[in-house]
Structure 1
Amino acid sequence: MPARILLLTTLAMLAFAGNSLLCRLALRETEIDAASFTAIRLFCGALTLWLLLRLRQGRRPVAGNWPGALALFIYAAAFSFAYLQLDTGAGALLLFGAVQLSMLLWGWLHGERLGLVAGLGTALATAGLLALLLPGASAPPLQAALLMLLAGIAWGVYSLLGRGLGDPLAVSAGNFLRATPLALLLAALLLGRLNWDGPGLFYALLSGALTSGIGYAIWYSALPGLRASQAATVQLSVPILAALGGSLLLGEALGLRLLLSAVAVLGGIALVLGSRQRGGS
């Protein structure tokens, strides 16, 4: 892998993990509420992506569509509300597992057949997610966990809707722009519960402009230099980076349940990706 592609890929994975870390940091350590965080994140992401698009392509229009924007909004809102209670690592693992498994399910429903190894990998990843959700002292709050699974499914749908729509940067800019009014509507519905402070606004701005907007732009710059299997496999690092960040910066415990679930989920998905690579797909 060329050094430039390796650097871009590393920065993109750090940005994706940073989204989880910034959201959890803001909602745990500052006064900002989840609806305000979502609206600011989407607005700043839309503005950043639009500016990047203008700098790169002049006056070419944004793209995207309303179904994609709705999926993006559901992801962003469920993500924020889930992190009111979830630790960073558990949230990232639930999100990532739900994204990958929902896309695998979509492929299976549309005729993609899993071989023995891929089937075992899918079962192992699913079992890992279920084990994380089982009742117990170390289990994440169920409502928050279900919200993060919803966020993952929504992101999987968003990714599937974006296939074949042309320039990913233009599509993302258009979808972020369309999703922003939906987030503002949610904030208006929760007007009496809105709250924020300077640090919370700063973290939301960073999440939207840096780890979302610029992070996605970096990822799209790296993608042409990656094989499909490489692009999928490298994302296995995101929950690990998020969990390490949560432990180092927020003092969150890396419990045995989380570690075992991570091994099962990420190992299972790695088996699926590895079987696809050997099969030439």
Structure 2
Amino acid sequence: MPYLRLILLTSLAMIAFAGNSLLCRVALLQTDIDAASFTTIRLVSGAVTLWLIVRMREGERTGGGNWLSALALFVYAAGFSFAYISLTAATGALLLFGAVQATMISCGFWKGERLSALQLVGFLLALAGLVGLLLPGLSAPPLAGSLLMLGAGVAWGVYSLRGKGGGDPTRVTAGNFLRAAPIAAGLSLLMLSRYSVDMAGFWYGVASGALASGIGYAIWYTALPALRATSAATIQLSVPVIAALGGIVFLGESLSLRLVLASVAILGGIALVILARSREQGT
């Protein structure tokens, strides 16, 4: 793949991933849509978009998702939406990313992988950043929203781990979105008493599902084979930063000193783990 095209695709994918935080936050903050409806619209529009992408592609069609992965995807999407009722875009993206990476690193450790001294320092630094962000104080994020986003991050970490080696990733993701959509619809039915959807909120949900999720994942999976494992992991560190900048520019959010220090600790710690692993594996 030409280098400039790779840079463009990778940049678009990271902007799309960060865009999910911004779209969800602005929808729940500035429109009348409820979190359950936003989740359903996001997953349905993502499923339709990914299904169309898979149908238009040629080549091998191995894999197609499964119900356990779809359930993890639903838990992520629902927790993500309900968390953003109270969290800023920057805080939500940082908590999500930190929880995802902590889940995946912890799983590897549980399966017998041993962390080097540098990796251990990085992991503990990232955990300290998460704890520091959540400690009680005037600038602490709301606890309920924080716990929901941490749960969403754990679910996405589980989803990512289950997806390894599952076949063509775009097709697998499409299958999981198609399975998760009716689960989300069931949640909307259970919360029918709180149903509220306006046109602006509806289109934010469609944009989150079709553009930031569906097309975003398709672009990322197109670029991923051309990236080294270390590069792919490190590039994703930019997502919380992009979300934070977007929150400042488009939503008028501000960055507290606590959030800045926590971001440095969490992202820096994860970077240490990634770089130390790449040094050991030569990737």
If the length of structure 1 is used for normalisation, what is the TM-score?
Answer: 0.98
Q: Is the 8 A contact 1:32 1:196 kept in 2?
A: yes
Q: Is the 8 A contact 2:129 2:265 kept in 1?
A: yes
Structure 1 runs of 4+ with >2 Å offset: 57-62
Gaps of 5+ in 1: none
Q: How many Å separate the matches in 2 of 1:97 and 1:153?
A: 9
2:171 is aligned to: 170
| 1:12-51 → structure 2 map (5 Å cutoff) | 12-51=13-52
Shift of 1:59: 11
1:99-127 per-position Cα deviation (integer Å, ceiling 9, x unaligned)? 00100000000011000000000000000
2:98 is aligned to: 97
Q: Is the 8 A contact 1:54 1:60 kept in 2?
A: no
Aligned Cα RMSD in Å?
Answer: 1.3
1:82 is aligned to: 83
Are positions 1:205 and 2:206 aligned together? yes
1:65 is aligned to: 66
Shift of 1:86: 0.1
If the length of structure 2 is used for normalisation, what is the TM-score?
Answer: 0.97
Is 271-280 or 149-158 further displaced after alignment? Answer: 271-280
SS in 2 for 1:85: coil
Are positions 1:224 and 2:238 aligned together? no
1:138-172 per-position Cα deviation (integer Å, ceiling 9, x unaligned)? 00000100000000000000000101110001100
1:62-108 per-position Cα deviation (integer Å, ceiling 9, x unaligned)? 70000100000000000000000000000000000000010000000
1:109 is aligned to: 110
Q: Is the 8 A contact 2:64 2:175 kept in 1?
A: yes
1:154 is aligned to: 155
| 1:125-140 → structure 2 map (5 Å cutoff) | 125-140=126-141
Gaps of 5+ in 2: none
Q: How many Å separate the matches in 1 of 2:245 and 2:187?
A: 32
Q: Is the 8 A contact 2:125 2:265 kept in 1?
A: yes
Identity of paired residues, percent? 62
1:145 is aligned to: 146
Shift of 1:199: 0.6
Q: How many Å separate the matches in 2 of 1:129 and 1:16?
A: 21
Shift of 1:57: 2.9
Q: How many Å separate the matches in 1 of 2:254 and 2:230?
A: 32
